[in-house]
Structures are given as structure tokens and as C-alpha cells.
Chains A and B, each alone.
Chain A
């Protein structure tokens, strides 16, 4: 294989440490302070994204999927490991930053309420010197039309839009700097079903028209199944399974993926008896030893509490981290 993936993650970790206050630092000097608490939000994650691919990143709250998205978009820097974009390390090539754009769950939070959306959309390309200010109005209109909004909306303020329209504005804003990779963090989670369908269609149209690559972060396996080529499943900061979407849905290997898929309410399952897995996600401050999933796993063995299983390739492109495969 000589082709360079668009994005390559190599053992990326992101740790958050609580900062010590004055008393704690003083106590630490004397050796009296409690140890500093560290959250391993993302732990040794490696995978790559090919150009034009749509990757679904799924997991429950606290699994580190959003943190990983932010590391990729360059909003956080990785504590360990490397993020390579077109073969170049992200931190050594600041010029490629506009090539990766992020779309957030709540676009209202990323829009200045006192700025007309037309100005907000072209703010970034002007700042990066990609667009002369004289063409701003024209470009804003073009971008709005690209996401299915009327060009006259450029004069409006963010509060004058509905949820679905705001989602479109968030997309237009990300597209303004002509990115190649879009990191969509729960971009459709807050939308009603009928509006969600419209926005998902927009994502798929844009992908074709602009040759975009997506990292689609979501807790909704139904949406991911529809849009993604490959799916990455995370649990407590680690990747537990990677596979082609159809393969992963039809033959999930990791017990967590199996449980996740079994729990998803589906339209074709009526009056079913739910048989839930036990317990909740443990705190990432104090994750279980060995395999993070073992306290909830129906197949847990003694080895699971001792050793963290490594990701192993089961069939072409299908990886799983579980001791049951040993």
C-alpha cells in the first residue's frame, strides 16, 4: 500500500489533569497532597481515514469520542501520539488547519448572536486570507445556497432561524474555508426526525459534490449505519472495534458492540422484552483494570481484569479488542 491516508492517527492519547491550587502545590512539596487525578479521555487510539471515506465514531457519553474529534480538528493537542494529515504531522504544519473543519451539535453556540449570519459565514476565509473582503457578500450568498438556504437570509441574525436552518448555517460556515475533512460532532442529534432526514441528505449531497471526507461522531447507531462506510466503536477512551458498517452491524464481535446494537430501539421490533446489560459506564477518573468493559461483560474471564486486550484483525478490515478472540 503506497497510498497515504487522508488522516492517520498513531497511538493518540489525550489526558486531562486537574490543576492544583496553591495549597495543594504547597502540600505536594511536602509530599502530603493526594495524587493528581488524571482522566484518560482518549487512550492510544490508532486508525486511519481514507480520502472520500465516511467514518462513524460511536460510543456512549464519556467514551472520549468528542475529545478525539477535537484533537483531530486541532482544538486540543494530543498528549501523546501523532495526528498525520496527508502524511504531515498536524502540529508542524499549521497551514493545513483550515482543511479540517468541525461542525458542532448546537450551531447556535458557535454563532455570534449579534452578527448577521452572512458575516459570520465568511469571517473565517477572510481571516485566513482566502477571500478578499470585497467578495464577501457574493461568497456568503453562494455558500447559503449550497446548503439549501435562501441567499437573502444573509442579512438575518442567528435567533431568526429554526434548529434545522441553524444546522445548515453551521455547515455553510465550515464549508467556507474549503475543507477536505469535516468532523461532525453529533451534528444531527438535536434535530427532529423529519428535519434530521433533510440534513443527512444535505451531508450526502455535499460529500458527492465537494468530494468531502467525514468523521461522523454520533451516539445514534441508526444514523451512523445509514451514512458511514466504516464504524469505529469506543468505550472509555479506547477503541474496542473497527469494521465495515454492514459487517459490524451483522457480525459484531466485541461484547460491548453486541450489547449496544441489541439495546437500540428499532421500528421493526415490537413489544419486545428488553434484556439490558448491567451497570453503567464507570467513571473515566477511575476506569476498571484490564479490559474496561469487564465489570459489565456477560463473558468476562479472569484474564479480562488483568490485561487490556489489543486490537486484533479478525477478517479483512474488521478489528476487535477482546480476549475471547485469543
Chain B
């Protein structure tokens, strides 16, 4: 059974220009202990998908359709108190900017112990011991001194480690990480990826890694879902999707990465720009930029299933593997 099951999720924002579906008909599964990479360019709806799972969509946004089942419980329409109990306990989130997690005027130990005591009845001493344990787990040396410090005394990479440590405190079943290493330097990013990989293996926590960087997903994730203009266009095992993409958009993305082009040659480029949600074309949102598009792309493409649990939302997938 899957840990998280999202079915036809639709999250809309009401604006002066009307209702904009930031996430439209998204279906996803995450299995226990799995790392899923959720990839897309800015505005593709990948972060809003993450926020929807966490129940963090505030007005003017609203989940208008679909269901999110987590450990068998329905999260869409659940009351705020039951969501609060879930968040931080079974379900945790790491943001791109760790200062979104950390309170700048509280010491790190205050914040960490607060999180523990909000969900479990334990003494401050027991809580402190657990904090120390988790800080060591994420690779912070001398945890006792670090616990007494304020967030501004940490470097960017260290802050992100503290944010990860807070997410791990209550041994959640699922962590949603929204571009957690995008703002970090390459060597620090390498360290964080290393810790995350080890932690999911040791604790059996599942991870949704939201990123725009296909290369990070290649090294980290087992499965990948690619989003474009609010929809998931392709899902499948990392190996297969990156080696032989089925959707023309995934193919275009992979081709425009410099490493996949001969040095000094012109890069393959996808013509045009990501459509804004206001004037998203009818049918397949990618068809105006797609070199394989035809008449039949003007209707909403159905999701088709291929071998190896691959799904693609395209009427003309690149490889005609036996369905």
C-alpha cells in the first residue's frame, strides 16, 4: 500500500483574472521509504503541490477537487486540529529558505524542544536528549554548544541542517523538501544530499524532493514526476525517464542541459516560454512549443500507462512501447 496517494488534485487561486488552477488533475503515489523527485520549472505548480499535501494552502487559494490520502486518512477537508497534529509529527516540510522554519529570536534548543513537546508528553531533559541525537544525525558537530545558539550564528548550510533536524525530530513517515539545496554552494549541497540519502535509508522515511534541477534528481531519487503548467506530464523510475523520456517536454528539458550537448555547440532549446496560467492553451499546455504536436493535441491528452509503471500525459509519446 502506498504511503501517500493523491488523486486528481486541483488547487486553484482566485485572482482578479479569475480562478487560476496552479495544480490541475495531479495524481501521485509515494511508497514508504521511497525518494520521489518532483521536477518542474518556475510556475509549474510543484511547490503548490507540496503545500497542498501539508494543508498549507491559504486564501485566496483552495483545493477544489480531488483527494490526498496519507496513511489511509483523507487530508482534503480534514479539520485544522487534526492537520496540526499530523504536521511536524507524521508529515514534515523543509523549505528553500531555512529561516522560514526557524524563528530568529529564539534559541535553537527552545524551538526544537517546543516541537517535541507539542506532539509528545516528554520532559525537557528527554526532549533535549532527542534534539542532541538528531543534530548529530544531520552532521552537526558539538550539538550541545549549537543548541544554545541563535539561528543567525549558523551559516546557510548549517541552518538548513537544523531545519532538516527539526523535520526529523518526530520520525515522520514523509518529508516534503522544497528546493532545500538550491541556495547552497555545490560542496555544501553535496553534504546535504549525502545526509538525506543516508537518513532515508536508516529511518525508512519517504521523501518528496521538489526541485528544478534534473541532475540532483538523477543522483538522489528512485522515481521522478515531471510537472508542466500545473500538470504532471510524466512519471516513472528515474533510470527510464532520464534515459528514454516519453513526453516531448521531458525530452526538451534533458536536451537543454549543457552536459547533454557537445561542448561549444549550440544548446538544444525549447522554443517559446512557459505559458502563464491565465492564457494556458486548451488541450495539451505544451503543444505550442512542441515539435511533435498535431491537430489531436488540442484536446486534453489522457494519461497513458507504459511498462515499468511509467505514466505519460501525451497523445503522441516519444516511444511507442507496448501499453
Residues of B near A265 (CB, < 8 A) are 189, 193, 213, 215-216, 218-220
B239 touches A274 (CB 8 A): no
B268 touches A197 (CB 8 A): yes
Interface string of B257-278 (1 = CB under 8 A from A): 1111101101111100110000
- Nearest-Cβ distance from residue A222 to partner chain B, whole angstroms: 5
- Check A204 for interface membership: any CB of B closer than 8 A: yes
Residues of A near B157 (CB, < 8 A) are 280
Q: Which listed residue (B189, B260, B263, B273) contacts A267, Cβ 8 A?
A: B260
- Nearest-Cβ distance from residue A149 to partner chain B, whole angstroms: 12
Count contacts on A: residues with CB < 8 A to the other chain.
44
B194 touches A274 (CB 8 A): yes
- A residues 156-198 near B (Cβ < 8 Å) are 162-164, 192-198
New A-B pairs, 9, CB < 8 Å, besides A222-B258, A226-B258, A226-B263? A60-B185, A192-B42, A192-B274, A193-B41, A193-B214, A222-B215, A245-B263, A270-B218, A280-B188
- Nearest-Cβ distance from residue B207 to partner chain A, whole angstroms: 14
B41 touches A263 (CB 8 A): no
Count contacts on B: residues with CB < 8 A to the other chain.
45
- Check A209 for interface membership: any CB of B closer than 8 A: no
Q: Is the interface of B mostly helix, strand, loop or mixed?
A: helix
Residues of B near A270 (CB, < 8 A) are 218-219, 238-239, 242
A204 touches B258 (CB 8 A): no
- Residue numbers of B with Cβ under 8 A of A are 41-42, 155, 157-158, 185-191, 193-194, 197, 212-216, 218-220, 222, 238-239, 242, 252-254, 256-261, 263-264, 266-270, 273-274
- Check A200 for interface membership: any CB of B closer than 8 A: yes
Residues of A near B263 (CB, < 8 A) are 225-226, 245-246
B269 touches A274 (CB 8 A): no
A309 to B187, CA, bound (A): 22
A196 touches B256 (CB 8 A): yes
A61 to B185, CA, bound (A): 7
- Nearest-Cβ distance from residue B210 to partner chain A, whole angstroms: 14
Contacts known (A194-B252, A197-B256); A264 close to B186, Cβ less than 8 A: yes
A60 touches B187 (CB 8 A): yes
B254 touches A271 (CB 8 A): no
Which chain B residue has the least Cβ–Cβ distance from A163? B42
A204 to B186, CA, bound (A): 25
Residues of B near A194 (CB, < 8 A) are 41, 252-253, 256, 269-270, 274
A267 touches B212 (CB 8 A): no
- A residues 251-278 near B (Cβ < 8 Å) are 259-260, 262-277
A94 to B78, CA, bound (A): 68
A197 touches B254 (CB 8 A): no
A272 touches B155 (CB 8 A): no
